[in-house]
């Protein structure tokens, strides 16, 4: 009888030990909270894109305040694409029970069907009264067949944005750090979107790579790493330690070359990388590839655009002799780079490239 009691006690202890061990295992996956409230977002993949932005129910209260509803998560990038000095507010939403799969630091995660990327373009200092004006909201929606584009143009009352994928131009005047500026702001067409947002002729997002998302963000409930936030929200499966990340190109505490590489990645690599629309040019400007000075265009002869004054894309110590600087400094449509997304010169970005070229030795001659 004693042996029987002893045997039962041992079994009980071992059972408890196994339970505790399994509960603390690193591979343990948290069971979703069945009581978690549903997101109020409305998304019927057979019906999108909707005629108006408000139909998605991404935001609560006055639409112009862009106050996200539950599970619409704001995000930012280490370095931003220049768009005529417009400011951006970005958000992401995914259907319940779905999450993105991490592929690598430099690649877009594998987003689930139903994912929506939301990017709002606005100015805070619009003339004459320095008011805020939202110009457009661009959506990328992942359907079963792949990503689609939907661009919404805001009305003057800032109460609604209406679907317009045919392109639109409007006069914008604003104060840029004390300087009065104005331009004919261009909302892109579907084809314009595809020129930048494509890889091997398949529509894809551009900026939402872990290398660009790996930063702290001040959420309403506290500051947190964005990728960690996505994991906690159930939007991302995992992330590695030691992500090789871009930097804020405006951060002068960072090395000049790293700032330049980050700037060129977000502003140019969507066209100047393998599988993109301009991959025939002698440059590879994605952050994962542009550590090589050769890939940055240094001492590389241009193949599709020659002015007669610039023999190389980048020539160390010679700003006037560098085609990259020339094409960034002009607004002539047939000569400027990028050819889409801007109508004015990005003076601060141009100065960054100028400082970098001047820091290089001339090894071309």
Q: Render pLDDT for 264-314 as a digit per residue (tens, 0 to 9).
A: 999 998 887 777 777 777 788 889 988 888 899 999 998 877 666 788 999
For residues 95-122, one letter each, b for 16 or more C-beta atoms within 10 angstroms of the residue's C-beta and e for the rest, the string is beeebbebeebbebbebeebbbbbbbbb
Query: What SS3 string covers 155-210?
Result: CCCCCCEEECCEEEEEEEEEEECCEEEEEEEEEEEHHHHHHHCEECCEECCCCCCH
Q: Which two three-digit tokens encode residue 9?
A: 């006690």
| Mean local confidence (pLDDT), 247-259 | 97
Of the candidate ranges 128-132, 156-160, 280-284, the one whose mean pLDDT is the lowest: 280-284
CB 323, CB 296: distance < 8 Å? no
Burial class (CB in 10 A: 0-12, 13-18, 19+), 57: middle
pLDDT given at position 111: 98
Instruction: Please state, as a whole number, how many other Cβ atoms lie within 10 Å of the Cβ of residue 282.
Output: 15
Alpha-helical (H) ranges within 247-322 are: 256-268
For residues 20-35, one letter each, b for 16 or more C-beta atoms within 10 angstroms of the residue's C-beta and e for the rest, the string is eeeeeeeeeeeeeeee
Q: Closest by alpha carbon to 176, among 261, 82, 67, 76?
A: 82
Which pLDDT tens digit goes with each residue over 307-352?
667 889 999 999 999 999 999 999 998 888 888 889 999 999 999 9
Instruction: Label residue 2 by pLDDT band (50, 70, 90).
Output: very low
Instruction: Label residue 252 by pLDDT band (50, 70, 90).
Output: very high
Please tell me which residue, 10 or 50, carries the higher pLDDT value.
50
pLDDT given at position 349: 97
- Integer Cα distance of 320 and 309 in angstroms: 8
Which pLDDT tens digit goes with each residue over 168-217?
899 999 999 999 999 999 999 888 787 877 877 888 999 999 999 999 99
Task: Please tell me the pTM assigned to this model.
Answer: 0.88
Please tell me which residue, 154 or 333, carries the higher pLDDT value.
154
Q: What share of the chain is helix, strand, coil (3-state, %, to 5)?
A: 20, 25, 55
- Integer Cα distance of 295 and 274 in angstroms: 12
pLDDT given at position 103: 96
pLDDT given at position 171: 95
pLDDT(16) > 70:
no
pLDDT(15) > 90:
no
- Integer Cα distance of 210 and 102 in angstroms: 8
pLDDT given at position 254: 98
pLDDT given at position 74: 98
CB 214, CB 226: distance < 8 Å? yes
- Tell me the pLDDT of the chain averaged across its residues: 88
pLDDT(3) > 50:
no
- Integer Cα distance of 52 and 50 in angstroms: 6
- Integer Cα distance of 58 and 145 in angstroms: 23
pLDDT given at position 32: 52
pLDDT given at position 33: 57
pLDDT(17) > 80:
no
Domain residue extents for the chain: 53-232, 248-365
């Amino acid at each position: 009888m004693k042996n029987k009691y002893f045997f039962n006690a041992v079994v009980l202890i071992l059972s408890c030990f196994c339970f505790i061990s399994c509960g603390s295992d690193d591979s343990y996956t948290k069971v979703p909270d069945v009581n978690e409230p549903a997101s109020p977002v409305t998304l019927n993949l057979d019906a999108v894109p909707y005629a108006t932005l408000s139909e998605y129910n991404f935001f609560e209260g006055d639409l112009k305040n862009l106050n996200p509803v539950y599970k619409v998560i704001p995000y930012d990038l280490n370095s931003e694409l220049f768009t005529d000095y417009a400011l951006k507010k970005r958000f992401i939403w995914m259907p319940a029970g779905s999450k993105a799969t991490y592929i690598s630091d430099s690649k877009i995660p594998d987003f689930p069907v139903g994912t929506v990327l939301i990017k709002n373009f606005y100015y805070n200092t619009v003339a004459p009264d320095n008011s805020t004006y939202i110009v457009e909201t661009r959506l990328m929606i992942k359907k079963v067949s792949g990503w689609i584009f939907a661009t919404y143009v805001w009305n003057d009352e800032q109460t609604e944005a209406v679907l317009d994928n045919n392109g639109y131009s409007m006069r914008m005047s604003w104060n840029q750090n004390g300087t009065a500026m104005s331009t004919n702001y261009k909302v892109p067409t579907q084809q314009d979107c595809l020129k930048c947002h494509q890889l091997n002729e398949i529509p894809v997002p551009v900026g939402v790579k872990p290398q660009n998302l790996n930063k702290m963000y001040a959420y309403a409930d506290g500051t947190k790493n964005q990728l960690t936030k996505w994991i906690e929200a159930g939007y991302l499966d995992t992330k590695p330690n030691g992500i090789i990340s871009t930097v804020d190109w405006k951060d002068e505490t960072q090395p000049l070359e790293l700032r330049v590489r980050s700037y060129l990645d977000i502003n140019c690599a969507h066209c100047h990388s393998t599988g993109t629309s301009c991959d025939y040019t002698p440059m590879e400007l994605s952050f994962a590839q542009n550590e090589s000075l050769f890939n940055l265009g240094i001492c590389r002869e241009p193949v599709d655009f020659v002015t007669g004054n610039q023999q190389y894309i980048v020539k160390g110590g010679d700003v006037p002799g560098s085609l990259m600087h020339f094409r960034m400094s002009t607004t002539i449509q047939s000569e400027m780079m990028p050819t889409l997304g801007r109508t004015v010169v990005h003076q601060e970005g141009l100065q960054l490239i100028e400082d970098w070229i001047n820091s290089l030795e001339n090894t071309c001659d």
